[in-house]
Amino acid sequence: MDATFFQTMKLTFELAGITTLILLCIGIPLGYYLSQTKSKFKPVVETIVSMPLVLPPSVLGFYLLLAFSPKNSFGAWLDETFGLRLVFSFEGLIVASIIFSLPFMVHPIQSGFSALGKSLQEASFILGKSKFQTLWHVLLPNIKPSLLTGAVITFAHTVGEFGVVLMIGGNIKDETRVASIAIYDEVEALNYDLANQYAFTLFIISFAILLFVYAVNKSMVKSEFR
């Protein structure tokens, strides 16, 4: 295993970690809103959130590429106003990953909030707690398994991204070349040994993460019934 291998893996997990943290901050309020609202626009919001589940990654990646391109008005505005170029950059990978992995964070959190019912929240309001206090001190501690599931699935999904990452980031060494792209490159070059190193590392890490989630969730459920 050479320096390139470790740099590629570092970049992969850095992307997944940043994406997961940002989506956790987005997913909690969005999941809470979707579990509580009765707005007629709720189906529209849920549809937008869930679109990455049904859209081919290449389709989403293509439209993000067009939107972020400096030749497009939005991309040009980002470049001129903030000096930000999202095409073929690590920052662009983060934005694309946030959009592509959004439902994997929001759906478990929304389900967790919905499963709590109204009584717990109403009891908190009766005791004089604000909506924020109720969310932070009452609801969130009771959906820890959902938060953990959302975070882990989001992390694992981001690690395995290919189509969107390739469209937005390309294949720039030490900047946008993540493990999924590296595997594709090495297979094309018939370098199966190195491709296997990348693939087997992702397999082991993914297995360990999922095993950890199931073990922790099982222990949480047991503790609730004691």
Dihedral-angle region of residue 127 (phi above 0 means left; psi in -120 to 50 means alpha; beta otherwise): alpha
For residue 92, what pLDDT is reported? 92
Using alpha carbons, select from 221, 224, 223, 202 the residue that is nearest to residue 213: 221
Neighbours of 136 (CB within 10 A): 13
Res. 223: pLDDT tops 70: no
Q: How far apart are CA 190 and CA 170, in angstroms?
A: 20
For residue 104, what pLDDT is reported? 95
Model pTM score: 0.89
Q: How far apart are CA 47 and CA 103, in angstroms?
A: 10
For residue 220, what pLDDT is reported? 67
Q: Which SS3 state, helix, strand or coil, does residue 82 take?
A: helix
Q: What is the pLDDT of residues 187-211, one digit of tens each?
A: 999 999 999 999 999 999 888 888 8
Domains located in the chain, CATH noted: 3-55+87-220 (1.10.3720.10)
Q: Which segment, 17-26, 72-81, 116-125, 128-137, is predicted with the most confidence on average?
A: 17-26
Contact criterion met (CB below 8 Å) for 167 and 64:
yes
Residue 123 has which token pair?
Answer: 């009891």
The dihedral built from the CA positions of residue 149, 166, 51 and 21, taken in this order, carries a sign that is positive
Q: Across residues 86-92, what is the average pLDDT?
A: 91
Contacting residues for 97 by C-beta, under 8 A, at least 6 apart:
15, 16, 19, 158, 161, 164, 165
Using alpha carbons, select from 174, 185, 225 the residue that is nearest to residue 9: 174
